[in-house]
Structure 1
Amino acid sequence: MEFSSMLWIIFIPLVEPSDAFQFDCSPSTVQTEPGAFELKCSPLTVQKEPGQDMDLSCAVKPSLNIKADSLECKRDDDIVHVYRSRWDDPSSQHQKFKNRTVLDRQNLEDGSFSLTLKNVTKEDEGNYSCCFPMRGIVSSAISLTVVSQTNKETNKDPGSGLSSGLIALIALIGLGLGVGLLILAWKNRAALSRSPPCILRRNPAVL
């Protein structure tokens, strides 16, 4: 009896680690099962001064162990930070964010993490988001605005600059009125001092 054997050949393509996990975490492309998990990050609006750090706190709801998952955080189309295989992966990071991000991984088993972007600049402005691409979990966009201290106060209270100018104007007007009243009082006093004395005369008919 003759036996024929079959040889199965398996081709395993060789890929770079940085290319093997290039995911698109756009909310329009990531398919999330309705009512499953959500990735909530806060705050959704961040305003910082140049040189300050931006901190984002995120958590998967309901709680989920994500320690062995892949995590990707982006600013628009630029990769800010990548975590995979239980370690950070700086190879996929955009050059402008290298050595400027810190991922706090202490609470990954509970589905929570925080990302810090150090020394923000005006060029860092934009919309940030994080996602777990293998699970289809993506966060809402976090908007970062970088302003100077002067502009920050103006943005915080648009009428603050006008209020200061208005107060100064009122003070000047009050000072002017005060000086005007003093001058008027001095002139009246001077005029009275120059007027002839009042002489009381008797009426001859009364005598």
Structure 2
Amino acid sequence: MGAGEFSYRISISTLRVVFPLLFVLRLAKGQFRLFGAYHPVKAAPGDDVILPCHVEPKLNVAGMTVEWSRPDRCPDPKNCLSHDEYVHLYRHNSEVTEMKLPSYIGRTALFTDSLREGNISLRITNVTQEDEGRYRCFIPKLKSHLQSSVVHLIVGGSSERCRLIPVVVLCMFILLCIAVRGCLMTESLCQKAELKKLTI
């Protein structure tokens, strides 16, 4: 085998590896992905909460359908996409309320100005214990193998209790200061009394 034939075989086998690799990389570069929260989102009853979800790289999704649903409340576990009840449904540049779960009516909203940046995060107001669970954000026409993402919401504790904690801490600090000052004053009076005894 000559040197020319050897280099020809190397270049052909190299091309067989490089071309498919370049094709895959090009496809991957053009892929969009939907990302939610990496950790559960926590809220107290009565709070407003934001469930994060966005497209990367940034993509204007204002003209696309955006669906938020509750997969753990799916009537048919074998086909969760068959039901017509959503936490929030955005279609044709506006919210569709006809297919919305009754408990979420008037309580959810997208950040419509941010849709051009690929942000489809959902705001839920006045959360209750019944809102706890998994939420699925989904863009049906997104050209990606990651068209959806799941965000877990945990609702626990009382917002009133959370507001009271700083007040209780402050009261305890004031009482501690008063007690310390009282001890210092008592000690000072004792020292003065001892001095009087010594001088007599």
TM range (shorter): 0.5 to 0.7
Picking from 43, 66, 71, the partner of 1:71 is 66
Number of the residue aligned with 2:78: none
Matches within 5 A, 1:42-61: 46-48=41-43, 50-56=45-51, 58-61=53-56
Paired with 1:123 and 1:141, the residues of 2 have a C-alpha distance of: 15
Structure 1 spans left out of the alignment, 5+ residues: 1-32, 194-207
Number of the residue aligned with 2:79: none
1:77 alignment partner, SS class? helix
Alpha-carbon displacement from aligned partner over 1:151-172 (angstroms, at most 9, x marks no partner): 2685xx9xx9779747744651
Given the alignment of the two structures, is residue 80 of structure 1 paired with residue 91 of structure 2, yes or no?
no
Picking from 145, 149, 155, the partner of 1:139 is 149
Distance change >3 Å, CA 153–CA 133, structure 1 → 2: farther
| Structure with the higher helix share, 1 or 2 | 2
What is the identity, as a one-letter code, of the residue corresponding to 1:100? R
Number of the residue aligned with 2:32: 37
1:119 alignment partner, SS class? coil
Paired with 2:184 and 2:113, the residues of 1 have a C-alpha distance of: 66
What is the identity, as a one-letter code, of the residue corresponding to 2:148? V
Number of the residue aligned with 1:96: 103
Deviation at 1:91, TM superposition (A): 3.0
Structure 2 spans left out of the alignment, 5+ residues: 1-26, 74-85
What is the identity, as a one-letter code, of the residue corresponding to 1:143? L
TM-score, normalised to structure 2, is 0.54
| Structure with the higher strand share, 1 or 2 | 1
Check the 8 A contact 2:128/2:155 in 1, yes or no. Answer: no
2:106 alignment partner, SS class? coil
Higher relative contact order (CA 8 A, sep 6+): 2
Deviation at 1:177, TM superposition (A): 4.1
Paired with 1:72 and 1:121, the residues of 2 have a C-alpha distance of: 21
Deviation at 1:182, TM superposition (A): 0.6
Picking from 54, 57, 64, the partner of 1:62 is 57
Picking from 137, 142, 148, the partner of 2:159 is 148
Given the alignment of the two structures, is residue 178 of structure 1 paired with residue 185 of structure 2, yes or no?
yes
Picking from 119, 122, 125, the partner of 1:115 is 122
* Alignment size in residue pairs: 157
Deviation at 1:73, TM superposition (A): 1.3
Check the 8 A contact 2:62/2:93 in 1, yes or no. Answer: yes
Deviation at 1:85, TM superposition (A): 4.7
RMSD (CA atoms)? 4.1
Alpha-carbon displacement from aligned partner over 1:22-49 (angstroms, at most 9, x marks no partner): xxxxxxxxxxx98832223469554555
Number of the residue aligned with 1:105: 112
Of 86-95 and 167-176, more deviation after overlay is shown by 167-176
* Percent identity between the two aligned chains: 27
Paired with 1:152 and 1:125, the residues of 2 have a C-alpha distance of: 21
